[in-house]
């Protein structure tokens, strides 16, 4: 009987990012395993041992880790087992990278807020976390293309003020200095909760004065908050599956292609909840038109349908749309249709022909051309690249 691979998992389990990776890893194991897993003991079983020492299991075959601790990363690499590490600066011999496209995450948040008509923007993250800085960079660069500046929160210099209860006062003071309405991105959902708590301290209304966006789409965290937190969903399940696939090759001594040495986690879509469920559009009829398009994105809308719904001539609506949002009504319709298609491709098992019928397309060639024109990738390639296995 062939030996069952034993894999160490250094992955945090209390948040959706880590759980998503674990779901993907387990799915691969169920299909091509079985594997036996070693996981970090819970706090009550650690005793006095340092938390990064337990993983030196003598009979383990490989490691998948999510950590930004440089000492721990070096320990894993020096241990010599095949490893996939989220936090590794660059691929090394027998140790490859699992990384999030943080710039794309920031870009997605900026595009979302711009599409809703915001003119003022802010970012709240962690100053000493590279992944937070990279999200901020993507957010800032995208806004700069449209001529907008970004207000960035800076943490207190004194480390003792970084504790949640103390820092909330500091965040609240910063929030009061911002113009409003303002669209604010946070580096993750936990930081989004910090900002929501600071808003309660200041009396700022969410989303009327400040719209707040998290990252990771941890449904428990987002839905328990008040108001519920909008968030960017990531392809962690797919990445976990791909990480397990590459690790399996390493364990078996198979050749690893250059393209497999870096496994990316991509932003998938934004789940809109109460914290951003509002348009920052002063022109009431343009705001109504945007809402009408959002609510009817499954239908084959024409510009005249939108104009009739808000009581304007087509010409008047187009002029006001371009003045307020710098895009045409038809572009807004296409944007929403393609977002809906992308969510269906990732979040359902519907075939492309079924999606085409649901959205009113006569055949898949039309929907494929439409999608590729907007996203630069075919629907089938998009599903292969981003959908969970």
Statement: residue 104 has pLDDT above 90: yes
Mean pLDDT, residues 274-289: 86
Mean pLDDT, residues 151-174: 87
Distance CA 362, CA 377 (A): 20
Residues 312 and 326 in one domain: yes
Statement: residue 157 has pLDDT above 90: no
Q: DSSP class of residue 152?
A: E
pLDDT in tens, 78-87: 888 999 999 8
Of residues 234 and 326, more confidently modeled:
234
Closest CA to 254 of 41, 88, 13, 62: 62
Of residues 174 and 335, more confidently modeled:
174
Residues 259 and 297 in one domain: no
* Domain region containing 200: 102-233
Residue-level pLDDT at 43: 40
Burial (CB count within 10 angstroms: exposed 0-12, middle 13-18, buried 19+), residue 52: middle
> Domain tally for the chain?
3
In a domain, 184, yes or no: yes
Of residues 176 and 348, more confidently modeled:
176
Statement: residue 46 has pLDDT above 90: no
* Angular region, 239: left φ>0, alpha ψ -120 to 50, beta rest: alpha
**Number of C-alpha atoms within 13 angstroms, CB side, residue 297?**
19
Residues 130 and 239 in one domain: no
From residue 2, give the alpha-carbon distance in Å to each of 26, 35, 252, 349.
19, 12, 12, 34
pLDDT in tens, 195-241: 999 999 999 999 999 999 999 999 999 999 999 999 999 999 999 99
State pTM to two decimals: 0.84
pLDDT in tens, 4-32: 899 999 998 889 999 999 999 999 999 99
Distance CA 62, CA 250 (A): 8
Residues 96 and 114 in one domain: no
In a domain, 311, yes or no: yes
Statement: residue 57 has pLDDT above 80: no
Whether the CA torsion 35, 40, 41, 47 is positive or negative: it is positive
Residues 132 and 33 in one domain: no
Residues 175 and 91 in one domain: no
In a domain, 274, yes or no: no
Residue-level pLDDT at 58: 62
Mean pLDDT, residues 110-116: 92
Residue-level pLDDT at 65: 93
Averaged confidence pLDDT in the chain: 89
In a domain, 276, yes or no: no
- Sequence-ordered list of residues with C-beta below 8 angstroms from that of 58, at least 6 positions apart, any chain: none
């Amino acid at each position: 009987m062939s030996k069952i691979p034993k894999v160490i998992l250094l992955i945090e389990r209390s948040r959706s990012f880590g759980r998503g990776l674990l779901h993907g890893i387990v799915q691969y194991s169920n299909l091509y395993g079985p594997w036996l897993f070693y996981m970090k003991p819970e706090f009550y079983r650690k005793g006095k041992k340092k938390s990064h020492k337990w993983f030196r299991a003598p009979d383990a075959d490989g490691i998948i880790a999510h950590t930004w601790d440089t000492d721990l990363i070096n320990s894993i690499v020096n241990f010599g087992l095949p490893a996939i590490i989220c936090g590794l600066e660059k691929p090394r011999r027998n140790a490859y990278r699992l990384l999030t496209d943080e710039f794309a995450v920031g870009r997605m948040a900026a595009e979302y807020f711009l599409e809703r008509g915001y003119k003022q923007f802010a970012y709240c993250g962690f100053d000493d976390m590279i992944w937070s800085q990279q999200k901020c960079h993507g957010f800032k660069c995208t806004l700069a293309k449209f001529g907008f500046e970004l207000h960035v929160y800076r943490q207190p210099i004194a480390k003792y003020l970084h504790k949640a209860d103390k820092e909330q006062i500091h965040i609240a003071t910063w929030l009061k200095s911002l113009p409003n309405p303002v669209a604010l991105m946070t580096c993750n959902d936990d930081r989004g909760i910090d900002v929501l708590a600071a808003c309660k301290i200041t009396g700022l209304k969410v989303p009327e004065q400040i719209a707040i966006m998290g990252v990771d789409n941890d449904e428990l965290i987002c839905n328990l908050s008040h108001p519920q937190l909008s968030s960017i969903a990531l392809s962690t399940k797919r990445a976990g599956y791909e990480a397990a696939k590459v690790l399996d090759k390493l364990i078996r001594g198979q050749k690893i292609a250059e393209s497999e040495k870096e496994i990316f986690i991509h932003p998938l879509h934004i789940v809109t909840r109460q914290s951003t469920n509002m348009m920052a559009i002063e022109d009431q009829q343009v705001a109504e038109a945007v809402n009408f398009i959002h609510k009817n994105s499954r239908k084959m809308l024409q510009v005249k349908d939108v104009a009739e719904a808000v009581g304007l001539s087509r010409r008047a609506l187009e002029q006001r749309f371009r003045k307020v949002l710098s895009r045409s009504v038809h572009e807004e319709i296409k944007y929403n249709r393609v977002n809906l298609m992308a969510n269906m491709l990732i979040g359902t098992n519907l075939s492309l022909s079924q999606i085409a019928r649901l959205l009113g397309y006569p055949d898949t060639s039309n929907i494929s051309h439409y999608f590729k024109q907007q996203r630069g990738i075919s629907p089938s390639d998009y599903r292969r690249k981003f959908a969970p296995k």
